[in-house]
Each structure stands twice: as structure tokens, then as C-alpha cells.
Structure 1
């Protein structure tokens, strides 16, 4: 499943995200102001899976779509039932937006790697995918993500 994304049609200035101590310090040395935030997974973002195992070969098949799975030839057993999980991992429990020194209050920018979890796509089977990027506005202290669930959240049936 594609998780949806926001593009940068107005060619706004791009704000980079640093996700490790080394990357944050590198940005600071380059003149950016690291805007540090905790990485806090949202309970709304989730995927699902179940695991089938072949009783003859012992091979497994991981399925993420309720309509999927091995063909029913009697050789497959469901060994892990449907389970929801948070599908992302990040290198640190914090990250930073690298804010340019010349940014102006009220300036609209494009954040290419959101730290916060916003739902970008919902699948009618229960999965919700992260919005990877968004437009934001600098208020002089922080980035105000311009997220509108009616506009930015796609809904997929299938």
C-alpha cells in the first residue's frame, strides 16, 4: 500500500529532518537551528498481518490483506492470527527539524519528513498510514503543520 504523500507544488523552501544525534549536530554546525521533538508513535497509525505456515515445508507466508493468504490446499495453518502493529521504526526517540537561520515568521515551507504522526491514508481494512510530508508555517518558534484531514487523508477501499 502506498501511504499517500503531499508534494511540493509551489516549490516552497524544504525543511529537512535530522533523526540522529550526529545528523542534528551536523545541521547545527551548518548553521541550522535544530527544533527538537520527541518521536511519539500515534495509536492511529497501524498495519496488520497474519502468518501462515506450510505443514510440509515449514515455510511461512505473511499476509497483510484480509483477502490474501495461501491457497486452501489443506497444507497451510494460520500460526499467528491477525495482529495490529505500529509499522515504523526510527533510530532515536527524538528528531529535529533543521530550521534555516533566515526563515521568516509566517513563511510557508515544505517539511519532507514529518516527525509527528498524521494519517495520510486509511484503508477500509483498518490500516492507517503515516503522512510522510506536509506544508507547514513557521510561527517564529515552531512549525505549524498545515494538516487538514479532509484534504490530506486519502481513503482507500479494497
Structure 2
């Protein structure tokens, strides 16, 4: 295979087009959010995350209880917390909050398999890098796009972009990058389904999750003593994921205007007089310090 960054064409060695690979936002694979096969699968990380001795277990238990160690242990504690951030293992697919689509890691497929994927779904989004053993990249010089949209992206108007995590692994990944999750329930409120309590401990910078009421940590919902939690219920047959969170960077302050690329709440944006309606998918918002106040306008009425 060969890829030309100038034309964005992925071709066979004979010059036959496989697919034009081009992202208008120039997103990078490492900045996308992991999307496991199941929304409640935890983040897969490298072996640095394994507890390696009694000290690791001791610090882990302190983190579970949201407690600080003795001053004499502080240096080792900080070193342990940094190691516990780990490095996420590569996923087969990741989620793009701007397009609300998954991007497939084509580095895990051969040329013939990539061609088959494109034939089955010509609109598929692919990630491909020079690490692919069958790929040759035509070297060109060019400038990076200065409004790249990743975790740290900004809009062309200069507004910070708030990304949305829609799986447990994505929330854990964001926390390891230094973001604070703002939980919002995304599922229906029915009687049938399984429960999951997810908590974020700001002191230890960890995400905890539990299905058993007897082992839950922190409040059932909301914030208390530095712990933010949400209880969600889920029916697998109705919705791919009931868990969602806005990932809030630490450099925005109350009153800042931001851009929410993937809105969780159901806000009506358009309505048809024949009964159909459509939700708002992205919008500017104001960060209050506690929540995102999304601009709400009267839905656009369509008649016909």
C-alpha cells in the first residue's frame, strides 16, 4: 500500500484507489477516546498499572478511601500515582465526539482486509500510520492545522472544545490525561436494567465503579467530600451506553465560553409539524464551575 498525505489517497502499490483518508479536523489517534466492545469494560492499560508489592496495595487502599498518606510517604505516593496513570493499550476502534462515529485502527488489518472493510462500508473512518508493515508513506512537508480538534482542541473562534466520553474506558482515559469528568446520565429511566455506580475521586485522581450496593464508594449521585458519583441503569437491548461525561480541562474558569462537540442531554433543535423532531448535537456553552450551561433556543419549526 501507499499513502500520499498531499492527496489523502490510500492506494495499492499498483496505484488503484482504496480510500481517500481525510479528517477535516485533523484529529490524531492518540487524542480520540477508547471505545471498547462493551461500554462498561474498564480501560486496558500496560503492565505499569499492575500492583507490584505491599506498598502498591497500601497506596491503592488509600486511594479507594480517598485518603492522603503520611508525609514520610508522600514522595513514593506521588510516584505511585504517576505510574498508576499508565499508558492505554491500543484499541481496535475509538470514538470521535465531533462526528459521533467510531474510527477503526487499520494498522491491525492487512491491505486485503482494509479493502474489504471499505467495500462493505465506503464511509468507514480509518486510522493508518507509518507503523503498518505493508504501508509506504510519501514524504511531504506541510504545516499542522492550528485548530486541531482533539482533547486539547479549540474552535476557529478560539473556544475550548469540551469532549464527551461515552464509555467507562473513555472516562478513565480522560482522567489519566488530567481531565475531570462531569457525569450526565444518557439512558432512559425505566424499571428494567442493570445498575452501575461510577465515582471520581479528585484527590487520588481515580475512577471507581461498582455494581454491588454494599461495596459502593461515595454518594449514590452528586458530589460529596471530593467524590463525584453517578448511578446509571442500563438495558442492553435499548441503548449502547447509558454512561456519559463531559471531560472538563483544568484551565477553564467559571464564566468561560466553550464549545460542546457532543451534547449528552436531549435538547430539541428542530421540529416537524408531522410529528418528527431532532436533538441538538453540538453548541456553545458557559462553564459555571459546576456545570455546563448549554445555550437553549426555540426549536426550528419545519412545515410541509
TM-score range, shorter chain: 0.5 to 0.7
RMSD, aligned CA: 2.0
What CA distance in whole angstroms lies between the structure 2 residues aligned with 1:90 and 1:26? 22
Match of 2:58 in 1: none
Match of 2:172 in 1: 25
What CA distance in whole angstroms lies between the structure 2 residues aligned with 1:90 and 1:139? 30
What CA distance in whole angstroms lies between the structure 1 residues aligned with 2:239 and 2:259? 21
Residues 20/131 of structure 1: CA separation in 2 closer, same or farther (3 Å cut): same
TM alignment of 1:7-86, pairs within 5 A: 10-40=157-187
Match of 1:154 in 2: 300
**Displacement, 1:11?**
3.7
Q: Which has the higher strand share?
A: 1
Q: 2:272 aligned with 1:123, yes or no?
A: yes
* TM-score, normalising length: structure 2: 0.32
What CA distance in whole angstroms lies between the structure 1 residues aligned with 2:163 and 2:250? 13
* TM-score, normalising length: structure 1: 0.59
Counterpart of 1:102 in 2: which secondary structure? Answer: coil
Please tell me whether the aligned partners of residues 119 and 130 of structure 1 are also in contact (alpha carbons under 8 angstroms): yes
Runs of 4+ in 1 over 3 A off after TM superposition: 8-11
Please tell me whether the aligned partners of residues 178 and 249 of structure 2 are also in contact (alpha carbons under 8 angstroms): yes
Structure 2: state its 5+ residue gaps.
Answer: 1-154, 190-237
What CA distance in whole angstroms lies between the structure 1 residues aligned with 2:158 and 2:301? 26
What CA distance in whole angstroms lies between the structure 2 residues aligned with 1:92 and 1:35? 16
Q: 2:254 aligned with 1:142, yes or no?
A: no
**Displacement, 1:148?**
2.0
Counterpart of 2:175 in 1: which secondary structure? Answer: helix
Q: Which has the higher helix share?
A: 2
Q: Which of 1 and 2 has higher RCO (CA within 8 Å, sep 6+)?
A: 1
Match of 1:71 in 2: none
Structure whose alpha-carbon radius of gyration is higher: 2
Residues 120/25 of structure 1: CA separation in 2 closer, same or farther (3 Å cut): same
Render the CA deviation track for 1:117-143: whole Å, top value 9, x for unaligned: 111110111101001011111111111
